[in-house]
Amino acid sequence: MVCESWNEKLDTYLDGELGEAETRSFDAHVRGCHSCSADALTRVQLKRTIQVAGKHFTPSADFRRRVRQSIAPKPQRRLGVGWILATAVAVILVVGALTSTYVGSRADRGQVFSEIADLHVATLASSSPVDVISTDRHTVKPWFQGKIPFAFNLPELQNSGFSLLGGRMSYLDQAPGAHLIYDVRKHHISVFVFQERSLPARLDEKSLAPKQLSFNMETWTQGGLRYFVIGDASGADIDSLARLFKAAS
Amino acid sequence: MSATSPQSASFEELAMPLFDQLYNFARWLTRNTEEAEDLVQETYVKGLKGFSSFQLGTNFRAWMYRILRNTFLTSRTGLRVTMSVPLDPEQDASELAIENDTPETILLRRSNSQLVLNAVDHLPVHYREVLLLCEMEEMSYLEIAETLSIPVGTVMSRLSRARSTLRHHLGRKLQGDEAGMEIVGETNYGL
C-alpha cells in the first residue's frame, strides 16, 4: 500500500508530536491523498468523541467540599484578631455588667437618700406634718400599732434637748414605715424607720454623700430596721439623736 | 484572622482547579465511585504533604497525576490489575489490527458516544490511562511519560496499541461480536 508508511504515523501526526519538517511533509501528503485525508478525518473525530465523552464523571459537591477541607490551611496556634476581639468583647461585657451593677446600686442609694430628704421637706411643708401629735413617746409608739408591720422603740428624751412633736405614716418605695419628728433648738429633725428588707438598695453610713444633700443625715440598721435621721440641725445634733435611738433599740 | 502557611495556600490554589479532571481520571481507572473518591482524597493528602518537595515552576499537573496514578497502582484494584501484566506487552499490537474494519466510520455514522465510552472502559488499564491522558487531558507524549514515569517511546507504543485495541473493540461491538473483548480483556492483556 502506497500510504502504509504515512498511515503508521498518522496518529502521531494528529497528536501534534511529529517534528516540524515531518509535519510539513504530512500536511502536504494529507492535502493531496484522499485516502489519508479521510482516514485522518475519522481519527480526529474519534479523538474528539473520546475527549468529550470521556469527561463523563463529575465529583459531587460534598466530596469536593470534604477534599477542600482536608487540604485547607490550618490556623496556627496563636491568638488571632478574632480571639482578641472576642476576649475584648467578653471583658467589656463583664466590666459593663459590674459597672452597671455598681452604678445601679449607687443610683439606688442616691435615690433613697433623695427620697428621704423629699419626705422630710414635704412633711415640714405640710399644714399637718404629723398625724399623731404628742410629746409622749408612750402615746406615739402605740399609734403605729396595726399601721406598720414592725415595732420599734422610741428613746427617752429627758434632758437631751430634743423634743418629740409627733409622728405619721410614711412610705418609701411602697413600703410602710414610721416618720417621727423631733425638735431641737427650733430645728426640725425627721427620723424614719423602715424594714431593711423592704428597701430597694443596700445602705450603709459610708454611702452617705452629705455634700450632695442640703441636710445632715445619718443612717444605720439595727434589729432588721433601717433608721434615717435627717434635718437641717447640726451634724452633732443629728448624731446625738441617732445615738439616743440606737441606745433605745 | 487566622494565619496561614503560604506553602499550603499555594497547594490549594494549584490543586483544586485540577479536581474535576483528577476525579474523572480516577473514576476511569477504578471504575468505581467510592474507590475513585478514596483515590482522589489520598492523592490530595499526599500532594499536600509532599508539596514542600515540589519545585514551583515545574509541571504541577503531571506531578498530581503521577501521585494519583502511583496511589492507584498500590491500591487493591491497582494491584489486582497489575498482577496480570505480561512480560512484553508492547510487541503484539499488529495482531489486533482489523484493517478491513472501519469502526470509526461506523461509529460516526451511529454517533454513539456511549459505545466509545464502553470501548475505553474495556481497555486494559495501562492502555486506558495513556489514551485518556492523551485524548482527554491533551497531554504531550513527554508529559505523559513524566506522569507515568515511562519513556516517551513506551508512551507512543502504548498509545498505538490502545488505539488499535479500541478500534478492534469498536469493530467487534458494531458487528455484534460480544466475544471480541475477551481477546483484549485485562486478564490476557493487562499490560
- Edge-first strand listing for the sheet containing A187-195: A132-133, A163-172, A175-184, A187-195, A225-231, A216-222
pLDDT digits (tens, 9 = 90+) for A155-187: 988 888 899 999 998 888 778 899 999 999 888
In this prediction, residue B102 has a pLDDT band, given cuts at 50, 70 and 90, of low
The residue written with cell numbers 499490537 in the block is B93
Task: Cell numbers for B125, please give them.
Answer: 488499564
How far is Cα A17 from Cα B33, in angstroms, rounded to an integer?
34
pLDDT class of A118 with cuts at 50, 70, 90:
confident
Give the span between the Cα atoms of A71 and B9, in whole angstroms.
9
Architecture of the domain delimited by A113-248: 2-Layer Sandwich (3.30)
> Strands (DSSP E) along B83-187, which ranges?
none
**DSSP for residue A60:** -
Nearest residue to B168 via CA among B110, B85, B95? B95
pLDDT greater than 50 at residue B16? yes
Give the containing element (helix H, strand E) for A230.
strand A225-231
pLDDT band at A197 (very low <50, low <70, confident <90, very high): confident
Q: Where in chain B is the domain with CATH 1.10.1740.10?
A: 6-82
Phi/psi of residue A178, nearest 5 degrees: -105, 140
pLDDT tens figures, A126-151: 777 888 888 888 888 888 888 888 88
**What is the reported pLDDT for A41?**
87
- Quick one: average pLDDT of A113-128? 82
Residue B21's CB is within 10 A of a number of other CB atoms, namely: 16
pLDDT given for residue A105 in this prediction: 56
Interchain contact B178–A (C-beta under 8 A): no
Count Cβ neighbours within 10 Å for each residue of B78-97 and write b for 16 or more, e otherwise: beebbeeeeeebeeebeebe
Contacts of A71 in chain B (CB under 8 A): 8, 11-12, 15, 44-45, 47-48
Whole-angstrom distance, CA of residue B145 vs CA of residue B160: 14
Q: Which of residues 22-51 of A touch B (CB under 8 A)?
A: 42-43, 45-47, 49-51
A187-195 and A225-231 strand pairing: antiparallel
Residue type present at position A195: Q
Contact B159 A70 (CB under 8 A): no
Residues whose CB is less than 8 angstroms from the CB of residue A234 and which lie 6 or more positions away in sequence, other chains included: A216
Matching residue, cell 399623731: A132
Q: Which of A106-110, A140-144, B179-183 has the lowest mean pLDDT?
A: B179-183
Residue B41 has pLDDT above 70, yes or no: yes
Q: How confident is the model at residue A99 (pLDDT cuts 50, 70, 90)?
A: low
Please list the residue range(s) of chain B that carry CATH number 1.10.10.10.
94-189
Q: Which residue has the higher pLDDT, B56 or B117?
A: B117
Contact: B2, A53; criterion CB under 8 Å? no
Domain ranges for chain A: 4-49, 113-248
pLDDT band, residue A208 (cuts 50/70/90): low
Please calculate the CA angle A47-A53-A58 and round it to the nearest 5 degrees: 135
Enumerate the H helices of A126-164 as residue ranges. Answer: 137-143
State whether residue A70 sits within 8 Å of chain B by CB. yes
- State in words which class domain B94-189 has: mainly alpha
With beta carbons under 8 A apart, name residues in chain A contacting B30: none
Mean pLDDT of B9-33: 90
| pLDDT at residue B184 is higher than 60 | no
Q: Cα–Cα distance between B161 and B72 in angstroms, integer?
A: 22
Whole-complex ipTM: 0.73
CATH 2.60.450.10, domain B6-82, yes or no: no
Instruction: Please measure the distance between the N-terminal and C-terminal CA atoms of chain B and give it in whole angstroms.
Output: 52
Instruction: For residue range B125-156, list pLDDT tens digits in order.
Output: 989 999 999 999 999 999 999 999 899 999 99
